[in-house]
Amino acid sequence: MSRINILLPAMGEGVIEATINKWLVNEGTIVNEEDPIVEVATDKVDSEVPSPAPGTIVSLIAREGTIVKVGEPIAILENDKSYTQEEPARVEKEIARVRETINSIKQEKKAEETLSKEMKSRTPSGKFISPLVRSIAAHEGISYSELDAITGTGMDGRITRDDLLKLLEIKKNEEENKKKKKAPESKQSSEISSAGSRSSGKDEVIEMDRVRRLIADHMVMSKRTSPHVTSFIDADVTRLVMWRNSVKEKFLAKEGQKLTLTPVFIDAAARALNDFPMINISVDGTNIIKKRNINIGMATALPDGNLIVPVIKNANEKSITGIARAVNDLADRARNNKLKPDEISGGTFTITNFGSYNNLAGTPIINQPQAAILGTGAVRKMPAVIETPEGDVIAIRHIMILSLSYDHRVIDGALAGKFLKRVKEILEDYNADL
């Protein structure tokens, strides 16, 4: 018999703690390896933590509703097997992952930290303010005295982001009331205002859910952090469409799943990033971090209308078949809320497909802390001028528009243009063995 401490695992980049939402087991429950034992919530995603080994849960250390840091024990498992030599290696590997996550936080959270570096972690009265709260306070000009006046609704009275949003809403309403008092309204305008207030009762007020609020915060932070520039190029993907049509039935029979264009776009982007590694970067203060791995995120729409970005790790090392398997698997589990935290973290570049809804193009927002994002538009049949030895001719071709948004602090137009042109070349002459 041996006892194993079940630690809160690394939950992805920028995540140092999680809230214990709900235990799925009780003390005395017998579990298998990889059985889900607890639901946890982070700022990025809600997920389940699996059991690291088979055995019996003998103690639940972390109570529901408590906040636990990555690497801290949450439960104790009694294993029927003896503590083998492999077990210390596994634990050491997990500890290494935790350390790597913590180190990555220091690099990847600079954009947020720079906004709040002048603020202390506690108010004059001693209230703790997290980096996220300090970031919002710095953005909105909220003073220490205002923070001190807030009654925190978080654990142990901690001030949460929702507490700040409520404060900002109150301040906004106060400002609007002051303006109304300063600007006397005529009887007619008052009647219009009153009518507007009455009619507003017919509108449906929908509060953002937690995921949508996180997306909103992330998008606003990205626009504040990076000066966005978007470049466009069109690509004649007729050969690509013909290639896919010639292999899709074979792929379906062999793999039991469809071959869409998304894996091809990921493959093309991975090849181009390999050729232009200075697109595969992030910014850390005044330093440029050139990423060793090419990990491509794919923006995926969820049934509830929200968005999540699962990541294809080391995409440049995978075949088109391997990428297609990963794309289909991650997309399916994303829609069923079955993704693990590691599967939505670590991205170095992102692709978003506007063509899914027959849109021609778009200007995507960079997924921080990355430095660029590729948008793919709809593939359409269009008349195009083709150069031949006998002269120019007009033919029906499959054309699509590619858009690249990039951080102009570190990526100039020339480099972005070369990268986008390389993606175009790969797609226009695409061919791969399945």
Catalytic (active-site) positions: 408, 412
Contact assessment for residue 45 and residue 63, using Cβ atoms and an 8 Å cutoff:
no
Query: Residue 283, CB half-sphere, CA atoms under 13 Å: how many?
Result: 21
The torsion of the CA quartet 220, 222, 227, 233, rounded to 10 degrees, works out to -110
Distances in whole angstroms, Cα of residue 303 to Cα of each of 333, 335, 336, 358: 12, 6, 9, 18
The token pair that represents 36 in the structure block: 């889900």
What lies within 8 Å, CB to CB, of 431 at 6+ separation is: 239, 243
Query: Residue 195, CB half-sphere, CA atoms under 13 Å: how many?
Result: 6
Burial class (CB in 10 A: 0-12, 13-18, 19+), 251: middle
DSSP string across 168-179: HHHHHHHHHHHH
Sign of CA dihedral 178, 181, 185, 191: positive
Q: Are strands 296-298 and 349-353 parallel, antiparallel or unpaired?
A: parallel
Contact assessment for residue 398 and residue 238, using Cβ atoms and an 8 Å cutoff:
yes
Nearest to 133 by CA among 149, 116, 146, 118: 116
Distances in whole angstroms, Cα of residue 401 to Cα of each of 12, 69, 246: 33, 44, 23
- Rounded CA gap, 237 and 425, in Å? 9
Helix axis angle for 238-255 and 413-428, nearest 10°, is 60
Which contacts of 208-215 are long-range, i.e. CB under 8 A and separated by 24 or more positions? 209/304, 209/306, 211/304, 211/306, 211/308, 212/305, 212/306, 213/161, 214/43, 214/44, 215/306, 215/307
Contact assessment for residue 427 and residue 271, using Cβ atoms and an 8 Å cutoff:
no
The token pair that represents 26 in the structure block: 């009780």
Distances in whole angstroms, Cα of residue 40 to Cα of each of 24, 26, 49, 106, 332: 11, 16, 7, 23, 21
The neighbour count for residue 94, using CB atoms within 10 Å, is 15
